[in-house]
Amino acid sequence: MAGAGCCISAAVHPIALDESTEPIIVTFSWLGATKRPYSKYVQLWQSLGFRHVLAARSRVSSALVPPAGMRRARKFTRKLIQMAQQRPNAPILVHLFSGGGFIYMGCVCKLLAEWAPTSPAAADVRSRIRGVILDSSPANVTADVFSRALVAAALARPAEGIEESAGWLVKPTTAVIGRVLEIPTYKKQLRAMEQSWLQHAPPCPKLFLYSDADALIQPAAVEAFMEQLGRAGSETSRHKWGDSEHVSHFRQYPEEYTQQLVQFVKRVLPEQQVLTEQQDVPTQQQVLPEQQQQQLVQQA
């Protein structure tokens, strides 16, 4: 599970002439993310001065039933287009987590590419995506990895050690998922999702945040995907930790994690005048008032 950090010294504040130019942050959660731990990342972006956040949560059902996932992605993409139309000059940054976020974003990329020839609004959104941050993503989809991710999501537990704490559930789930992954239509959909990233993802810079100690995401898989994107024309950069757990890099290294976001924003949005000054990121106990969250964040 991912959480929030503590005191952070660097903060970014976009200075815009009007609200229509303020960046839009789009986040895609890890599989089965619950509201409280996921909201820490929304609060992180808000603490850095980004007021407009559109957050999508990846459901377990969407991973198990791809058509259901595509329906949710279609609804979310329309919402993103609507939000972008309300801020016609706003650049878009994407921050996704784990395999769940990777799949969700892949669906959105595919839809935007399909709609773009007949929808100027879809084409406009696609062209305005200026950077993508991938936290603990992507992974080689195997029965072992998929089953551990599903069980961890279902039980709301960390992926690390899930085989020891819930082996009674992991083993039969692995057997079932192994059979599912052999279904021709499912294999075809997985391949299509990988191709959608290579063919339809915007050719903007991408930052990979990952770890050698991740129980689900193999560093070699992340680095191989970076090479694929590089060959396809995308600029990539990385930051790798040695011991942080799956989607827990911010919780374990809050200052380093925040600095990575700050540096990336300054690089991909040079036209945004940014200031660096003292500011605190909310801790686990410092939660924004519910009314304020509703005003600033749109959940999808």
Confidence tier at 272 by pLDDT (50, 70, 90): low
Pairing of strands 129-135, 206-211: parallel
Angstrom distance (rounded) from CA 224 to CA 1: 25
> Does residue 24 form part of some domain?
yes
Number of compact structural domains in the chain:
1
Helix locations, 160-298, DSSP H:
162-165, 167-181, 184-200, 219-231, 249-252, 254-268, 290-296
Q: pTM for this structure?
A: 0.84
Domain residues for the domain of 159 are 12-299
> Does residue 51 form part of some domain?
yes
Cβ distance 228 to 134 under 8 Å? no
Q: Which comes out higher in pLDDT, residue 143 or 251?
A: 251
> Does residue 4 form part of some domain?
no
> Does residue 5 form part of some domain?
no
Read off the CATH number of the domain in which 245 is found.
Answer: 3.40.50.1820
> Does residue 1 form part of some domain?
no
Give residue-wise pLDDT tens across range 167-200: 778 788 888 888 888 888 877 877 777 778 888 8
288: pLDDT strictly greater than 70: no
> Does residue 162 form part of some domain?
yes
Mean pLDDT confidence for 126-134: 96
> Does residue 280 form part of some domain?
yes
> Does residue 111 form part of some domain?
yes
